[in-house]
Amino acid sequence: MNLLEDIMVLDFSQFLSGPSAGLRLADMGARVIKIEKPVSGDICRELYVSDVMIEGESTIFHAINRNKESYAADLKNEEDLKKIKLLIAKADVMLHNFRPGVMERLGLDYETVTSINPSIVYAEVSGYGNEEEWKYLPGQDLLLQSVSGLTWLSNNNNDLPTPMGVSVVDILAGAHIAQGILATLYQRAITGEGALVQVSMFESILDFQFEVLTCFYNDKNQLPVRSAVNNAHAYIAAPYGIFKTKDNYLALAMADIVELSGLTGCAELKKYTNKSVWFSKRDEIKKILADWLVNETTSTWISILEPADIWCARVMNYSELINEEGYKVLNMDISVKTSSGLQITTTRCPIRVDGNFLTSSKGAPLLGEHNEQIDKQFLINGKKISENNF
């Protein structure tokens, strides 16, 4: 479904945060033109997160830049910059994630761009926003997880601060800027006016923690304390956590401790009849439960707990997950084809509209692959030749 048909996005962003927003807009049917540096392109083309490469480039580049076009241009070259400005005149959205000051130096700041195209939606992702204190610090995922307090929420109380094993800040910032772009496009459809949409990765990861930060704000700034035993959430009482079983692991969410005692046969838990102590004595309770659950298999516990509507789940790795029918029926993995004809498996957009998936079989572009096509459509010798709107 092309929900954003006729919307043209110029995506100047690199790495993950901005490109993930561009990916989502492309999934929704927008035409996303990725503006890249000649020769090297988006640095993410060589950002290897594993030893797996696709056509000599990183897997993450191919995952996050599928269904886009690539236009190579040197933004410091006067002729290339003229071409870019002509494209800006026809664009609906412009997206970047450069550090503060970079676009001003290139002559592509908000004021300049809106003088070219007053109705454009100008979207920018920064590391820490434009306030002076931290504005020039590198907006890198691990660093932002660390300064935001997020790393003090995972792992057990006596362990080191622990980051999430995924680029959560980048992806959240991308989701937030995409939301802002969509809302502003709706406003523009009514008023005809564009706007400046800004998201900082720092604010995104703080918003991600609204639940625990609200507790902190309203608890006289008492720091969250991770459970020392099987921690899964700093503010949730026992039995919340992941437990070793005889053959694997079992995740337990919120549950009545006395009911859990009866279902599992763990008599030692029967004494915790007072719900008010399930948080203060969570380590004590979870230690008893951990010592008990290890005596039976995960399947055994699931067969007892699920029928009683106790919130529990097996803990699966990817290999186990993809063989489950619950995963298969989602058709979450899709195949896309690169310009060279290579088939790549990746994840699809999670959004459905009227039961329809938002998918495309188009893989990530080669660097500058669409220069000739775009030049013919919009430009000739630096002059506009098409009056058609996109």
Give the C-alpha separation, 387 to 322, whole Å: 48
- Write down all domains in the chain, each with its CATH number in brackets: 8-208+371-379 (3.40.50.10540), 241-315 (no CATH)
The per-residue pLDDT of the chain, averaged, comes to 94
Structure tokens of 346? 């990746």
**Which segments within the chain are labelled E, that is strand?**
8-11, 31-36, 53-54, 57-58, 69-72, 93-96, 121-126, 195-200, 241-244, 249-252, 312-314, 333-337, 343-347, 352-353, 356-357, 379-380, 383-384
Output phi, psi for 251, to 5 deg. Answer: -95, 130
Q: Are the beta carbons of 282 and 238 closer than 8 angstroms?
A: yes
Structure tokens of 149? 């307090």
Q: Which tens digits make up the pLDDT trace of 254-298?
A: 999 999 999 999 999 999 999 999 999 999 999 999 999 999 999
Core vs surface per residue 152-169: b (16+ CB within 10 A) or e:
bbbebeeeeebbeeebbb
Check whether 387 has a pLDDT greater than 50: no
Cα angle: 376, vertex 381, 383; to 5 degrees: 80
Strand 352-353 to 121-126 pairing:
unpaired
Give the C-alpha separation, 190 to 105, whole Å: 33
Give the C-alpha separation, 242 to 224, whole Å: 19
In DSSP terms, which residues pair with 272 in a beta bridge? Answer: none
Check whether 91 has a pLDDT greater than 90: yes
- Structure confidence at residue 51 (pLDDT): 72
Check whether 380 has a pLDDT greater than 60: no
Other beta carbons within 10 angstroms of residue 329's beta carbon come to: 8
- Structure confidence at residue 158 (pLDDT): 94
Give the C-alpha separation, 16 to 380, whole Å: 32
Q: Taking residues 295-306, what's their average pLDDT?
A: 98
Q: Which tens digits make up the pLDDT trace of 56-87?
A: 899 999 999 999 999 999 999 999 999 999 99
**Which segments within 195-315 are labelled E, that is strand?**
195-200, 241-244, 249-252, 312-314
The number of helices, as runs of H, and strands, as runs of E, in the chain is 16, 17
Other beta carbons within 10 angstroms of residue 214's beta carbon come to: 11
Structure tokens of 329? 């029926």
